[in-house]
């Protein structure tokens, strides 16, 4: 038995070593490329980011889009999934099919469909109040059409994260207990069910945030310039700066993942203590 455990540790260490090499070698090469110049090591690609044209605008736009996307997604999914848990199993099956359907639709096809709708609207709704809606969702300052695309793209990821959290919680029993204690339906959901879904909510939010930070296809085809498109644009003229931004965005994503993992561990520790 001890020999088997020793072998498992060796294989686990080997797998971790290979994974570390797989991730760290490209990362190190990218960092070296971003600071290596003909005159030696230079961090100008990093120090000049804040003054780079369009950097802050694209970053702020992406973070705003991500925040709105997360909010819309949670407001749509959480009540629907809780209602499905409290309802019939058929409703859960229908909801699963609807939420996982975007997995089989490529982003290019999804964007082409959005473009078709946006072109159809002005032709047939020019004389109606709905025409202003088409104009509003395409506002370059905050393109809501990208939020629609991001919500559809991140729907399967968020659904899986929330569904896994709900499977670990007896929603019906929690709600019935809260109702027997005199709580209303909204209060039972807000004060009893949602605190037990904190980890699932964080996972869904993080996955959505990661998708929005790295999404390129839809925003590029629709003609907007969030952070990923800005990195690509800068890469055509300033290769080192684009790599520096990519490295920083990857580090930000890792930091968020570590914060999420830490929050999950603290939550489990508090639950175990109490």
Domain-located, residue 198: yes
Provide the whole-model pTM.
0.79
Contacts of 44 (CB under 8 A, 6+ apart): 37, 240
Highest mean pLDDT among 60-69, 102-111, 182-191: 60-69
151 pLDDT tier (thresholds 50, 70, 90): very high
Domain-located, residue 26: no
CATH of the domain at 212: 1.10.3720.10
Given a cut of 90, whether residue 69 has pLDDT beyond it is yes
**Residue 192's domain spans which residues?**
52-226
Domain-located, residue 37: no
Among 52-56, 136-140, 253-257, the range scoring the smallest mean pLDDT is 253-257
Domain-located, residue 259: no
Q: What is the DSSP letter of 38?
A: T
For residue range 180-228, list pLDDT tens digits in order: 888 888 888 888 888 888 888 888 888 888 888 888 888 888 888 888 8
3-state secondary structure of 257: helix
Among 9-13, 35-39, 107-111, 264-268, the range scoring the smallest mean pLDDT is 264-268
Domain-located, residue 273: no
Domain-located, residue 251: no
| Closest by CA position to 196, among listed 219, 176, 222, 170 | 170
Domain-located, residue 85: yes
Count how many domains the chain has.
1
Domain-located, residue 33: no
User: Dihedral (C-alpha) 115, 119, 122, 124: value to the nearest 10 degrees?
Assistant: -120
What DSSP string runs through 221-252? HHT---HHHHHHHHHTT-HHHHHHHHHHHHHH
Stated as kind and residue range, the H or E segment containing 113 is: helix 107-125
Which residue in this structure is represented by tokens 């027997």? Answer: 180
* Tokens (6 digits) for 154: 């991140």
Strands (E), 22-136: 36-37, 40-41
Cα–Cα distance measured from residue 243 to residue 246, given in angstroms and rounded to the nearest whole number:
5
């Amino acid at each position: 038995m001890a020999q088997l455990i020793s072998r498992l540790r060796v294989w686990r260490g080997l797998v971790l070593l290979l994974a570390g090499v797989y991730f760290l070698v490209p990362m190190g090469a990218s960092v070296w490329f971003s600071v290596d110049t003909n005159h030696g090591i230079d961090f100008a690609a990093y120090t000049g980011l804040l003054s780079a044209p369009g950097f802050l605008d694209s970053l702020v736009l992406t973070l705003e889009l991500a925040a709105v996307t997360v909010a819309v997604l949670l407001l749509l999914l959480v009540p629907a999934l809780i209602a499905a848990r409290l309802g019939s199993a058929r409703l859960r099956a229908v909801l699963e099919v609807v939420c996982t359907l975007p997995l089989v639709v490529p982003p290019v096809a999804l964007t082409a469909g959005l473009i078709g709708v946006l072109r159809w609207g002005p032709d047939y709704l020019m004389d109606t109040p709905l025409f202003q809606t088409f104009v509003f969702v395409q506002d370059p300052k905050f393109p809501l059409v990208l939020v629609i695309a991001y919500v559809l793209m991140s729907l399967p990821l968020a659904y899986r994260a929330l569904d896994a959290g709900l499977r670990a919680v007896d929603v019906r029993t929690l709600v019935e207990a809260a109702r027997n204690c005199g709580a209303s339906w909204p209060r039972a959901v807000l004060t009893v069910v949602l605190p037990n879904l904190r980890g699932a909510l964080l996972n869904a939010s993080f996955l959505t945030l990661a998708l929005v930070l790295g999404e390129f296809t839809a925003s590029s085809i629709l003609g907007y310039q969030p952070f990923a498109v800005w990195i690509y644009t800068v890469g055509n003229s300033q290769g080192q700066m684009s790599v520096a931004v990519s490295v920083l965005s990857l580090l930000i994503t890792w930091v968020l993942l570590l914060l999420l993992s830490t929050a999950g561990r603290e939550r489990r520790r508090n639950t175990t203590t109490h």
